[in-house]
């Protein structure tokens, strides 16, 4: 029997349709990776396509690794020539070869989030930007959004005419780009933007890759943004053999720039496209899928599809409403422990999913008390830790001396008597001469007023040059060991003599393990293990890629982090209006915001394989205030016959739940006439006299949306409806009492 006979009808149709644009609408758990890998095998084995003419792109390293392994197992000989990688890895690989055409050196550094923040601090300091008025995070967000839409600094400035705030952002954007280029560095968005620029300006390079990649497949297409769409469009425009796989119902990354229109309007972009729906689910039970279908059916902006399974109905969904968030956490932890004690599964069969990271604290405390192993996904990234950033900065400096951030970080780490005054003088000299920081260090004897610091700085330069010479001969692991030995970094940590220092040394040991694993991986693939290659791999690692599924611990994560994962038993916690969906979504005038929250709920439900427990609390402490929230509207969209309420939840008690959360109170106040008698409501946005502390045209800040400009205020009884044009979140309408806007 052929391997293609193991596919269901729709899967087989998708595999055999090889020519022209193809959209595969793959519902959750419908075997899309299986389809993609079998399609690659079919192209090579049956259609005679060369493996190196195939490009398969996905979003995470974890997904790319899984696809790589499956392709290798299915195709066998020649499979290593198929490009299977993430968008960012593919672009980094292309740019390493061709970026000199854009004026960069090929050994450019890739800046992570922390590097970007450090650079933005330098930019704000240089431009004398008031970071209380213009937060670094807001500025970086605006720049990232511009890059995702392929809007460069000059075009951004033109669009900002007449808008003082956006003109200021344009000024920052230009300097930020100037500093990146001076440091021979790219941020994550640049990897995509510069590759598109390369293809747009270098016709021969584009033609080369169009010939190379005659068959292109893109996974998780619903998560693509504008620059990713343009990249794929350029690469596929010659042969048009573009296959995209995705699920519009799982588009949950709008905040990262994902454009759901890319998948919804695919047939408009590619008029002759064929559309195939994969609706049979192999992961979950019937009751779980029926609940997911019922919830997502309430969205209008979607392509119609209905998941079904041959797995049987399975258990009903468990719904539990507890008195407080503490009770909710206690109930879930007790339920997990009881299941494990009864032999109904191990700890790693259970996952707790929630809307916001802040919800994890109570669960953590309860797990510690109960002595149950757990793991949070999305905490402090391993590579963001101080000691790891230090050691990587040494490696980056050896690889790319133009990376000012890396050089400045380690010039006095471990402490070698180089003071801040000396560092500032070097920085001033570098700015004056328009050269890099390391280049200025190499000419330290020419820097006026450097004094006794010169000899120490010269010793540092000599040390780095020594490492650079050794890097040409040594392996990456040997080089790192030499850096640790000669700088005395580990010894300096030991001298701190506390438990934290011990943990830091263990982290450095783990980094060495990572380097060795990288070298072994390169050896297996018959590729050179280079310092630049290792730094690139580290820069492209995401939090979710570090999830070790082999350990027996309960997994805690946000719903956004859970996408692509599956667990036998899932707990969806905090299912309350105001928590999920969030208050900001509820009061938003953009219907798309609520639809995205509903898609997030759909993703959460479909993570469950066998059992799903939904929990909510009557009262919950949020930002130091007790809130009384109704059950989530998403729960009400699930048919009652699919749900078991057990002994903890009693339907008649629903009437006892306080009806007025903060938002509902604010809404009632807004609609009430001034002379209507009612109990006073706490007015967060107004002073005691009832007047707002801001007016139209004022700059205000919001705890979620950041800073913006007030564009309209409408009086409505004892409250005001305020319209604010936020710098990064767009225009929002909200009640003053609820929004807690502060004038800046």
Q: Which residues are catalytically annotated?
A: 32-33, 219-220, 250, 607
The separation between the first and the last C-alpha atoms of the chain, rounded to the nearest angstrom, is 71
Contact 534, 522 (CB under 8 A): no
Contact 590, 641 (CB under 8 A): no
| Dihedrals phi, psi of 54, to nearest 5 degrees | -115, 130
Strands 706-716 and 699-702: antiparallel
| Dihedrals phi, psi of 623, to nearest 5 degrees | 50, 40
| Dihedrals phi, psi of 688, to nearest 5 degrees | -55, -35
Strands 567-572 and 608-622: parallel
State the Cα torsion 437-439-445-448 to the nearest 10°: -40
Token output for 480: 């790192």
Q: How far apart are CA 240 and CA 233, in angstroms?
A: 9
Q: How far apart are CA 579 and CA 559, in angstroms?
A: 13
Q: How far apart are CA 237 and CA 226, in angstroms?
A: 16
Q: How far apart are CA 710 and CA 713, in angstroms?
A: 8
Contact 321, 539 (CB under 8 A): no
Token output for 10: 């729709």
Contact 347, 553 (CB under 8 A): yes
Q: Is 551 helix (H, G, I), strand (E, B) or coil?
A: coil
E strand or H helix at 455: helix 453-471
**In terms of Cα–Cα distance, which of 443, 417, 419 is closest to 430?**
443
Cβ-based burial of 534 (10 A; exposed 0-12, middle 13-18, buried ≥19): buried
**In terms of Cα–Cα distance, which of 362, 323, 269, 292 is closest to 21?**
269
């Amino acid at each position: 029997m052929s391997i293609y006979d193991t596919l269901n009808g729709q899967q087989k149709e998708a595999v055999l349709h090889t020519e022209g644009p193809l959209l595969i609408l793959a519902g959750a758990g419908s075997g899309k990776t299986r389809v993609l890998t079998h399609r690659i095998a079919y192209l090579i084995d049956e259609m005679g396509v060369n493996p190196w003419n195939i490009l398969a792109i996905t979003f995470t390293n974890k997904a790319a690794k899984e696809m790589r392994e499956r392709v290798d197992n299915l195709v066998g000989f020649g499979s290593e020539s198929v490009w299977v990688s993430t968008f960012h890895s593919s672009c980094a690989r292309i740019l390493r070869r061709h970026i000199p055409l854009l004026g960069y050196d090929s050994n450019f550094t890739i800046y992570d989030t922390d590097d970007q923040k450090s650079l933005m601090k330098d930019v704000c300091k240089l431009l004398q930007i008031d970071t209380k008025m213009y937060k670094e995070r807001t500025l970086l967000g605006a720049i990232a959004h511009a890059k995702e839409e392929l809007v460069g600094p000059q075009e951004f400035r033109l669009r900002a005419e007449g808008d003082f705030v956006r003109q200021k952002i344009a000024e920052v954007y230009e300097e930020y780009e100037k500093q990146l280029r001076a440091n021979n560095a790219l941020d994550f968005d640049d990897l995509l933007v510069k590759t598109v620029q390369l293809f747009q300006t270098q016709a021969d390079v584009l033609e080369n890759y169009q010939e190379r990649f005659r068959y292109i497949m893109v996974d998780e297409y619903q998560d693509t943004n504008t620059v990713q769409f343009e990249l794929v469009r350029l690469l596929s425009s010659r042969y048009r053999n573009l296959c995209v796989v995705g699920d519009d119902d799982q588009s949950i990354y709008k905040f990262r720039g994902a454009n759901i229109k890319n998948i919804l309007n695919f047939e408009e972009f590619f008029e002759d496209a064929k559309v195939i729906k994969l609706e049979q689910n192999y992961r979950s039970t019937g009751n779980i899928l029926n609940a997911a279908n019922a919830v997502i059916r309430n969205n209008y902006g979607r392509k119609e599809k209905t998941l079904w399974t041959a797995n049987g109905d399975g258990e009903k969904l468990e719904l539990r409403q507890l008195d407080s968030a503490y009770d909710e956490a206690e109930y879930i932890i007790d339920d997990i422990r009881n299941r494990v004690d009864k032999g109904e599964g191990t700890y790693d069969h259970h996952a707790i999913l929630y809307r916001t990271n802040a919800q994890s604290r109570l669960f953590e405390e309860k797990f510690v008390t109960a002595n149950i192993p757990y793991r949070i996904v999305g905490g402090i990234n391993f590579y963001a830790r101080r000691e790891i950033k230090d050691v990587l900065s040494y490696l980056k400096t050896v690889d790319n001396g133009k990376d000012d951030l890396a050089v400045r970080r380690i010039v006095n780490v471990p402490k070698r008597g180089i003071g801040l005054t000396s560092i500032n003088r070097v920085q001033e000299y570098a700015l004056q001469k328009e050269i890099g920081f390391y280049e200025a260090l190499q000419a330290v004897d020419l820097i006026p007023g450097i004094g006794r610091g010169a000899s120490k700085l010269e010793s540092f330069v000599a040390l780095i040059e020594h490492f650079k010479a050794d890097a040409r001969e040594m392996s990456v692991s040997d080089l790192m060991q030499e850096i640790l030995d000669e700088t005395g970094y580990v010894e300096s940590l030991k001298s701190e003599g506390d438990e934290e220092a011990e943990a830091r040394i263990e982290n450095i040991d783990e980094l060495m393990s990572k380097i060795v694993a990288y070298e072994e991986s390169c050896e297996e693939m018959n590729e050179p293990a280079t310092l630049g290659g290792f730094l690139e791999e580290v820069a492209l690692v995401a939090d979710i890629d570090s999830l070790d599924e082999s350990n027996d611990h309960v997994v805690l994560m946000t719903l956004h982090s859970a996408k692509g994962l599956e667990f036998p038993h899932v707990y969806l916690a905090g299912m309350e209006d105001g928590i999920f969906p969030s208050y900001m979504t509820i009061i938003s005038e953009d219907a798309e915001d609520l639809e995205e929250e509903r898609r997030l709920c759909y993703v959460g439900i479909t993570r469950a394989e066998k059992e799903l427990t939904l929990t909510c609390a009557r009262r919950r402490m949020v930002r130091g205030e007790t809130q009384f929230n109704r059950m989530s509207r998403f729960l009400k969209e699930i048919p009652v016959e699919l749900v078991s309420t057990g002994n903890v939840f009693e339907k008649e008690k629903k009437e006892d739940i306080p009806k007025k959360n903060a938002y509902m109170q604010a809404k009632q106040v807004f609609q009430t006439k001034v002379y209507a008698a009612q109990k006073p409501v706490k007015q967060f946005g107004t002073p005691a006299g009832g007047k707002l502390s801001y007016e139209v045209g004022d700059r205000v800040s919001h705890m979620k949306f950041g800073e913006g400009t007030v564009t309209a205020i409408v009086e409505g009884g004892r409250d005001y409806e305020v319209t604010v044009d936020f710098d990064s979140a767009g225009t929002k309408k909200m009640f003053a009492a609820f929004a807690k806007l502060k004038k800046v």
